[in-house]
Structure 1
Amino acid sequence: MKKLLIGCMAAIAALIALSGCDQDKVLYNGSSYLMFSDTLYTYAVQETNEIFKVPVSATKSVDYDRTFAVEVIDRESNAVEGKHYKILSNTVTIKAGEMSTNVEVQGIYKNIGITDSLGFALQLVIPETEQWSMYGSETKVVMQKVCPFDIKNFTGFCKVTSTYLSSDYYPKKVDLRLITSDIVEGKENTIAIHGLYFDGYDTEISFNRDDVLEPLVEMEKDQVCATTGEAFNTIHGDGKLRISQPTAYTSFYSTNENFVFQYATLSVNNKDGSLYGVVGTFINIIEWISKAEAEKLKEQGY
């Protein structure tokens, strides 16, 4: 991507500039080009309809304002301008002495579905002499609808399907479990899932709210989720089956559809706290459902 290349170029230039006290700074002295700062952007469209900015860069500054148009490339877009988004101005200006500006866009939250995959392509309308053939004059913007986060949506009845529950490791070998969850008081954005695999054990997970485009699930390691007697019909190690979330895989949640997709590693420790053995890493999908849906599952024996 352009950002990485430009970053590398900047780093190399900085090293050259620092290599000798008597050397002059290395500056770009080629032609003046205009371009989007990157070839792909992803933005969250939220209920508040915030304005997001698509950056445009120049390779050098000049002593006059540069105003140019921006147009949508319809054949490369499936989002509809005026319905799914609006461009606040089809012309932008890089002011004299500056090297950047932004195309301001506003997503239209109410017209985007929770499972929609929408995007559009933009093109700078500039003379060929100001187009750098290496990068071109286009970019693509992907819009992702993000519903507001409400931890209450992750409480109450939920159903869990898991590669552990359907594996030979699980004594009952079922296709799903009907369970419940509650907010953990005193812990921010944390819930306790009751009986994830076996009755009588709580598993706490937290929702990372730092980046709405990266809704990550976090969990403290080595939480007890069963005894080895319940899981394997015999005692192993310290007799406790523990659950942790591996860092090698990404576990996440969805505010659009109220579910958690989680990787979970099951293990057993020795009595001295050292590792006795790893059962395996499994996938959990936890979906929150209505009371009516829960009653139907109960009628089916879950």
Structure 2
Amino acid sequence: MKKILTGFMAAFAAMTVLSGCEEKRVIYSGPDYLMFSDTLYQCPVREADDDVFDVPVSATRAVDYDRTLAVEIIDKESNAVEGKHYELLSNTVTIKAGELASSVQVKSFYDNIGVSDSLGFALRLVIPDEDKWDLYGTEAKVVLQKVCPFDINNFTGDCVVTSTFFSSDNWTGVAAMRLIKTEVDPEEENTIILHDLYYDGYDVKLKFNTEDDMEPLVEMEEQKLASTADAFIGNIHGNGDLMISQPTAYTSYFSTCEDFVLQYVTLNVYNDDGSLYGSVGTYVNILEWISEGEAEDLRQDGY
């Protein structure tokens, strides 16, 4: 799931330094170089017709005149097709007088890009040799990532749950997967209820973080997954509750294009005083939403 890489070059890492109580401004006085601001970008391909992605271009020094640079596509390093998957709105980019940055604008074509496509293209700035900085070069790679609109209803209904927990020694069931039902939580925004996630009669809630569609994350507060008696063949441990939570050390996310969730979960048991009785382990869940027909076939097979 990776991300638009931003940030400027090390040449500008320290523009201001402090010495004691006196502030001293340091101005870059080295050579004038032109470059892409980074070497790799992820371009979100959204459904909106007017959605445009910027590929930043930078200069190490501002000058008192406009600088127009040619931009070319490196065909041998690209598998996305210009005119089909994307187009450059201009084959030139202008850094205006007194400024240090501008952008190459890219428009992508949502309907022509498949959910599982791995497409990208490479760009090169056409500039004089004296304007090139060998440390950074003049090329950048752009990866096209399709972003489907979020609709929480796509994550309701019949859901297949597979989990590494089901293949662990702590699983007392016999099935390697579970067919469950999910519904929208009427009380919490962007939240669904997972009925009988691991054990019959116990529900948990899962929240979708939709703030950044390039980082579609799921969140889960710690909550009761089952009683230890139900989970461990009648044995009561700690305060009797088996708790489920989402560890922060791993990234749990969802896909709006393929209607699935990949989630890391940790199972714990606590004592009556809130201290940890013991950790059952950390596992990976995959939740996949399927059609009613597919669900009926699974039910006939005993799920």
Give the match for residue 253 of structure 2.
Answer: 252
1:193, distance to aligned residue in structure 2 (A): 0.3
TM-score normalised by length of structure 2: 0.94
Q: List per-residue Cα deviations over 1:26-77 (Å, max 9, x = no partner).
A: 2111221110011111121011141010000111111111112101001111
| Deviation of 1:10 (Å) | 3.5
Q: Which residues of 2 match residues 1-302 of structure 1 at below 5 A?
A: 6=9, 9-15=11-17, 18-19=18-19, 25-49=25-49, 50-221=51-222, 223-233=223-233, 234-302=235-303
CA distance in 1, matches of 2:23, 2:268: 59
> How many residues align structurally?
297
Does structure 2 conserve the Cα–Cα contact (< 8 Å) formed by 1:167 and 1:173?
A: no
What is the distance in 2 between the residues matched to 1:23 and 1:269? 53
Change in Cα spacing, 1:24 to 1:170, as seen in structure 2 (3 Å) is closer
Give the secondary-structure state (helix, strand or coil) at the position aligned to 1:203: strand
Structure 1 ranges of 4+ moved more than 4 A: 2-5, 20-24
**Residue 7 of structure 2 contacts residue 38 of structure 2 at CA under 8 Å; is this kept in 1?**
no
Whether contact under 8 Å (2:12, 2:28) holds in the other structure is: no
RMSD between aligned alpha carbons? 1.6
Change (3 A) 1:259 1:163: same
Using the aligned pairs only, state the percent identity.
60
d(CA) in 1 for partners of 2:31 and 2:24? 20
Amino acid of the structure 1 residue aligned with 2:297: K
- The one-letter amino acid paired with 2:299 is K
- State whether residues 260 and 289 of structure 2, in contact with CA within 8 Å, keep that contact through their aligned partners in structure 1: yes
Secondary structure in 2 matching 1:164: helix
Provide the secondary structure at the position in 1 that maps to 2:239: coil
Could you list the per-position Cα deviations for residues 63-106 of structure 1 after superposition, in whole angstroms to 9, with x for gaps in the alignment?
Answer: 11111210100111111111110100001111111111110001
**Does the 8 A contact of 2:261 with 2:288 survive in 1?**
yes
Q: Which segments of 5 or more consecutive residues in structure 1 lack a partner in the other structure? A: none
Deviation at 1:186, TM superposition (A): 2.3
Whole-angstrom distance in 2 between the partners of 1:215 and 1:22: 45
Structure 2 residue ranges without an equivalent (≥5): none
